[in-house]
Amino acid sequence: MTTVWHNPRCSKSRAALTALTDSGREVTVRRYLDDPPTPAELSEVLDLLGLEPWDLTRMGEDRAGELGLATAERERDRWIAILVANPVLIQRPIVLTEDGRAVVARDREALKDLL
């Protein structure tokens, strides 16, 4: 089963979901804004992606500016807590596969290996 951390208001998220379902994959949709990841889940996903939380943060969001993230100390647990408390800051969509792969599927190229 493939899981998509999805924001239905995001065109890139909708496009990735469409590409996955059109490919015949069985997809579980997680509306991560309504059902944010736990710190443990986000940490696991970051490890699968090979990223740190600041690499997955939408720095252009107003909330990132309000929190002063551009100059914030890069301490992993603190940033994970910030993202969990403010899921709008998490890049989207994130696609997780049953075989343990993960990608931030912001374009068709990122999905290519999964399709």
Query: What is the residue extent of each domain of the chain?
Result: 1-32+92-115, 37-87
Exposure on the CB side of residue 34, measured as CA atoms within 13 A: 7
Cα separation, 90 vs 82, whole angstroms: 10
User: What confidence score (pLDDT) does residue 89 get?
Assistant: 98
Cα separation, 74 vs 69, whole angstroms: 9
Q: Which residue among 1, 7, 10, 85 is the active-site one? A: 10
- Taking the chain (115 residues) in runs of 10, the rounded mean pLDDT of each run is 96 95 95 98 98 98 98 98 98 95 91 82
DSSP 65-109: HHTTGGGS---HHHHHHHHHH-GGGB-S-EEE-TTS-EEE-SSHH
Active site residue 69: no
pTM for the complete prediction? 0.93
Question: Under 8 Å CB-to-CB from 26, ≥6 apart: which residues?
Answer: 1, 2
